Structure 1
């Protein structure tokens, strides 16, 4: 492959690459950059020729980056951000600096509980034009941070790399949600707790902290249904006499915006950072 002269390269291709990589879609990248579908396709062709690599492969869920594209992304993302930062030097001269998007990785329980407050805090950051919440979990968060797919994350565990700065912002525990119109609350006890059907929120879908705690007490529960999304809870619980046990911050947030009622669990759960 012959050496590429940087003077001959359209640096807008960096913006295009980052947009396609993050959106996993040429159509969404075009909307984000205000470009037509044909313009995006033309730029992708130039990028593929420039790097002599397919970069993105079409799958049933959009455009999937190649291994080489995964390697390119952190460097190109950083280059684009460094260039954007130069405009901050002139932010007092008529607002030439247009700001940037801050991408925060969270599971949807943290998004439900902390999202509204984060939006208010973001308004105090002059250089932030948009918040972007992106789904992550303890198994994915380290890779997403190191590849700069996200700028920061709120998660419970999962980070071991010394390259990532970690700050403990609080301690969590668990709470229960029920539909008070269907769930009999007169005798809220451990025996009632284990006798009811449970809705499990878990990535694995079969086992959770509740099962660990009950097992230590020689008891078991019956899981009616499992889901990986906290936002599904109101739709699964309403009109039933089932219950769910989820992180307290998420349970209280859901109770505030739905007809479900928050209850303290009749069994003690360990705290987590």
Structure 2
């Protein structure tokens, strides 16, 4: 590994995550031929094809899968050391930061975060990446995002976590003039009603886990990718949906909807900011995370 160019390692890690020469080139801000040339050098170095074309993109070989964790972590450590020696002046910075959020996070938290960041650093760019909870750990490790805000803990020793919202709970949201449900919701009504559910990739699956543990089955009539589509759907149907109380209350204030307690016990949950531990040595990363915490806390 002593003879491996650091740029080759960066191409390898980026290509592994992107599974596409085109996307890897875009993320690295280089041309596609440059990525192809780097891949050829990597193949020669390791004596393996490393990536093979398939219908799903550039699939890693067994050797590439074995190499990836070590190369990814080594690259992240090097970047962290280099970044730690750079000065960061928020007022004059034009740096781009990437934050992974669900659409709920965008609606409930992003306005506060953006206002706070731009008050201190008016020239920075914030890119919001739609959260895919199963990929969050890898996104942090590879530097695809600087931080992740989610309700489901990312269980990895290399990830730091700071709670930004506590004691949030799940409730049921439905049409204010629902044909069969009034001001309270029984378990029988819940089971018999038709439901709209949101993709598990958002990380909001605690209520689903409880239902599964209790052996309760409901009638799922609609699955959507985003919570933001629910208000219009619910006000024009008799569907029920489970949402965090804060955003459900917001939806109910803006549309003819009502919020009811769930007829079964779901533990309260926390929303937390997650970031790669070793990146805290970076002044820019430290400022970014602390600013998000302050923004959500309202300080």
Q: TM-score, normalised by structure 2?
A: 0.63
Offset, 1:159 = 4.2
Taking the aligned partners of 1:255 and 1:20, their CA distance within structure 2 comes to: 44
Taking the aligned partners of 2:85 and 2:231, their CA distance within structure 1 comes to: 46
Tell me which protein shows more strand as a share of its residues. Answer: 2
Higher relative contact order structure (alpha carbons within 8 Å, sequence separation ≥ 6): 2
Counterpart pick for 1:116 among 111, 114, 127? 111
Contact 1:15 1:80 in 2 (8 A): no
Match of 2:23 in 1: 28
Taking the aligned partners of 1:241 and 1:186, their CA distance within structure 2 comes to: 9
RMSD over equivalenced CA pairs, Å: 4.3
Taking the aligned partners of 1:229 and 1:251, their CA distance within structure 2 comes to: 14
Match of 1:187 in 2: 182
Taking the aligned partners of 1:160 and 1:132, their CA distance within structure 2 comes to: 22
Contact 2:100 2:129 in 1 (8 A): yes
Taking the aligned partners of 1:186 and 1:24, their CA distance within structure 2 comes to: 48
1:48/1:116 CA distance change after superposition, 3 Å: farther
Offset, 1:244 = 0.8
Taking the aligned partners of 1:187 and 1:79, their CA distance within structure 2 comes to: 59
1:246 lines up with 2:250 in the alignment: no
Structure 1 stretches lacking a partner, 5+ long:
none
Size of the aligned set, in residue pairs, is 258
1:208/1:34 CA distance change after superposition, 3 Å: closer
Taking the aligned partners of 2:221 and 2:269, their CA distance within structure 1 comes to: 26
Match of 2:281 in 1: none
Q: TM-score, normalised by structure 1?
A: 0.68
1:60 lines up with 2:55 in the alignment: yes
Contact 2:175 2:235 in 1 (8 A): yes
Offset, 1:128 = 5.2
Offset, 1:238 = 5.2
Structure 2 counterpart SS, 1:166 = strand
Larger radius of gyration: 1
Tell me which protein shows more helix as a share of its residues. Answer: 2
Paired residues for 1:27-46 under 5 Å: 27-46=22-41
Offset, 1:186 = 7.7
Offset, 1:261 = 2.7
Taking the aligned partners of 1:71 and 1:151, their CA distance within structure 2 comes to: 20
Contact 2:76 2:142 in 1 (8 A): no
Taking the aligned partners of 2:49 and 2:116, their CA distance within structure 1 comes to: 40
Taking the aligned partners of 1:37 and 1:159, their CA distance within structure 2 comes to: 33
Structure 2 stretches lacking a partner, 5+ long:
271-299
